[in-house]
Amino acid sequence: MTQDDAKAIATECPSVAVTAPTVRGGVQVVYGSNNWATTAQGVTPDYMTLRDYSMMFGQFFTAQDVDAAAKSAVLGETVAQNLFGDSDPTGQVVIIKNVPFTVAGVLTPKGQSPTGQDQDDVVLLPISTATQKVLGVNKANAKAVGAIMVQATSPQAIDQAVQDVGALLRERHRILLGLDDDFTIRNLKEVFEAQETSAQVMSILLGAIASVSLIVGGIGIMNIMLVSVTERTREIGLRQAVGAKTRDILLQFLVEAVTLSVLGGIIGIAAGLTASALISHFAQWSTEVSPLSILMAFVFSGFVGVFFGYYPARKASFLNPIEALRYE
């Protein structure tokens, strides 16, 4: 693929809003006694729009810089931090592949990608400069690029954009009907759907683990209540002797079981909120705890108490008063 392909896609595909051809390669960036190994990407100004970047310091290079193959570099926040610390590096000169570049600015940090890659560990160069002075020109085609990023006009137009781009590239590359494409189109919508599927599988797995924990906890509550019924058999008989009805005994032990379960639920909710806060603080991950999930956890813990506490409560309520009073 070439830069001309990118221009053709932008002008001839009505479902496409922006295109950005890119080339990339590993480089060592040097400033004074500091150096940092990172990825250099040759891009056009449209890359800024397509990736929704903004500038923390300075300005992004222009189309004129691309045409003139200007030795201008825009640093990611990770690169700038390792070379310049917290200071603004705009206007400073760094060395990339023995070529001096003036720092035009620093990108606003984006953090990690969903795959765990540091999106700020990058140096952006004009694509012409990158190919001619840093990464090297493709001998087969001086305008060859590694990838072309494409933005559809709307989320609903993504599928149409995929079809339009594929048809145009096949036509430009003179690929006959029935032959394989010499390019690959990756639809990020499909990638997102695959990630959603993985997240759903993980949720089901975590739910299964939580279910086992609930069953174990419920059995523990049942055992505690059965022991309590055995130890308090004479108390139950005495209550029955003075007029307590079956439903009174049943309700008493159900309330005790639910109380145990709800207390455990409250402790679990507190532990979850604390763990979420600690992860956000130390790992710098954005976490959100839904109030609905807290309410569901609280209600479910009460349900576990009723479900596993019913048998011991029923056993207590149906004790024979005479035998209960004589129990040792």
Report which of 252, 226, 224 is spatially closest to residue 238, judged by C-alpha positions: 252
pLDDT tens readout for residues 134-193 = 887 766 677 888 899 999 988 888 889 988 998 898 988 888 887 888 888 888 777 788
Q: Does residue 32 register a pLDDT over 90?
A: no
57 SS3 class: strand
For residues 159 and 187, give the distance between their C-alpha atoms in angstroms, rounded to a whole number.
Answer: 8
Q: Do 21 and 145 meet the contact criterion of CB atoms below 8 Å apart? A: yes
Q: What is the pLDDT of residue 71?
A: 92
Q: 43-52, 119-128, 315-324 — which is least confidently predicted?
A: 315-324
Q: What is the pLDDT of residues 47-78, one digit of tens each?
A: 998 888 889 999 999 989 988 989 999 999 99
Contact, 317 vs 250, CB < 8 A? yes
Q: 3-state secondary structure string, 281-298?
A: HHCCCCCCCCHHHHHHHH
Domain range summary for the chain, segments of one domain joined by +? 3-186, 191-325
Query: Phi/psi of residue 104, each to 5°?
Result: -85, -25
Task: Count the Cβ atoms, other than its own, within 10 Å of residue 283.
Answer: 9
First to last CA, the chain: 90
CA dist 165 and 170 (Å) reads 9
Residue 183 host element (H or E): none
What is residue 111's predicted lDDT score, i.e. its pLDDT? 82
Encode pLDDT of 255-301 as tens digits: 999 998 889 889 989 998 999 889 888 877 778 888 888 898 888 88
pLDDT of the residue at 177: 81
User: Residue 122's pLDDT is what?
Assistant: 92
Q: How many other CB atoms sit within 10 Å of the CB of residue 176? A: 6
Q: Residue 47: CA atoms inside 13 Å, Cβ hemisphere, count?
A: 24
Q: Which of 4-18, 111-125, 294-308 has the lowest mean pLDDT?
A: 111-125
